[in-house]
Structure 1
């Protein structure tokens, strides 16, 4: 592997990553770079990714929730948060070698599922309505046109910021705080990006 995998957080899994990559190469998956790392796809749809962490190497199946998992090897990395993604974790090179046939079986099932369109689509977030911010935008055309230049994602951040306040006076204070930001084209969380 010529360039470091950004998902190999500890750089202690190079041999193991290369071993899994050689297994993936036996399938029809195509390697693409997404989110700064390798993702293996079929018809431009994400099927699996790899990553090395402190105590394990993981193969993650983007729609792993639909795999039969008869060997009971898949885990949900964030219970209650992660909907479809499942990980298969390995602590050693030997564990990978021992399970090569099973890994290839899981990879093939994931490919078959993706080709069949068996996948979980991200849920649309409920629209946020802020009567106070809408009133401010209605009364201030410069603010309204500046607000419209933001992407829907950044508009949502402003709306969530205002509407997460419980009291109306706090909402009004927050609106006053974000007005200069909107007029200057600065997103609410731009300083963190």
Structure 2
């Protein structure tokens, strides 16, 4: 960490190597640091925290770059700049941008959201997450759970987050054949006590 600037050399290197959104990333970084956040490279992306609690993350996609607010669902967002990445995201929200000019125009709104996010952390607020039982269990998985008691026991022993990841993965397939295939492919992982992304 550069004590003078508050920047992380790993983020410097990541930004220098960026092939797209470099200027946009630099401006988003400046806004985050201007709010007194500390910088660190996490999950390969610039992440900004307050007193060790993650506040925002900068990331880029093909069509846009974004500032992701970890607890965006709790923010006031009076300018309506935050969006849900997908319908299954419960806590995080993104501010999406397709140009440097767009970030410049929304700088005040972004700063207000960051300061609000810091207050959310200071207050210890948490997003009320849906229970795993509220997620649909595809029929193809229900059949296998009924046929194999060991699979039911292993699935029930997984953390709620791992259970939700499997349910979303199975349900994400449109055709029954694909759902059944996903279930079959994941059964060894579940029986080994592993999550979808633990391979």
Q: Same fold (TM over 0.5)?
A: yes
Q: Which runs of 5+ in 2 are unaligned?
A: 1-10, 134-144, 171-183
In the superposition, the TM-score normalised over structure 1's length comes to: 0.62
Q: Partner residue of 1:95?
A: 102
Alignment of 1:1-193 (within 5 A): 2-4=12-14, 11-79=19-87, 81-120=88-127, 125=132, 133=149, 193=199
Report the Cα distance in structure 2 between the residues aligned to 1:105 and 1:188, rounded to whole angstroms.
37
1:46-93, CA deviations, whole angstroms, 9 ceiling, x for partnerless residues? 2111111111111111111111111111110111x1001111101100
1:153-185, CA deviations, whole angstroms, 9 ceiling, x for partnerless residues? 6xx88xx8xxx9xxxxxxxxx8xx96xxx8xx8
- Report the number of matched residues: 154
Greater RCO, CA 8 A, separation 6+: 1
Which SS does the other structure have where 1:68 is aligned? coil
Which SS does the other structure have where 2:13 is aligned? coil
Contact 1:30 / 1:42 at 8 angstroms: preserved in 2? yes
Which SS does the other structure have where 1:97 is aligned? helix
Q: Partner residue of 1:141?
A: none
CA distance change for structure 1 residues 131 and 44 in 2, over 3 Å: closer, same or farther? Answer: farther
- Structure richer in helix, relative to its length: 2
The alpha carbon displacement at 1:124 in A equals: 6.4
Question: Structure 1 residue runs of 4+, over 4 Å off?
Answer: 121-126, 129-134, 185-190
CA distance change for structure 1 residues 186 and 119 in 2, over 3 Å: closer, same or farther? Answer: closer
Which SS does the other structure have where 2:26 is aligned? helix
CA distance change for structure 1 residues 77 and 97 in 2, over 3 Å: closer, same or farther? Answer: same
The alpha carbon displacement at 1:34 in A equals: 2.4
In the superposition, the TM-score normalised over structure 2's length comes to: 0.61
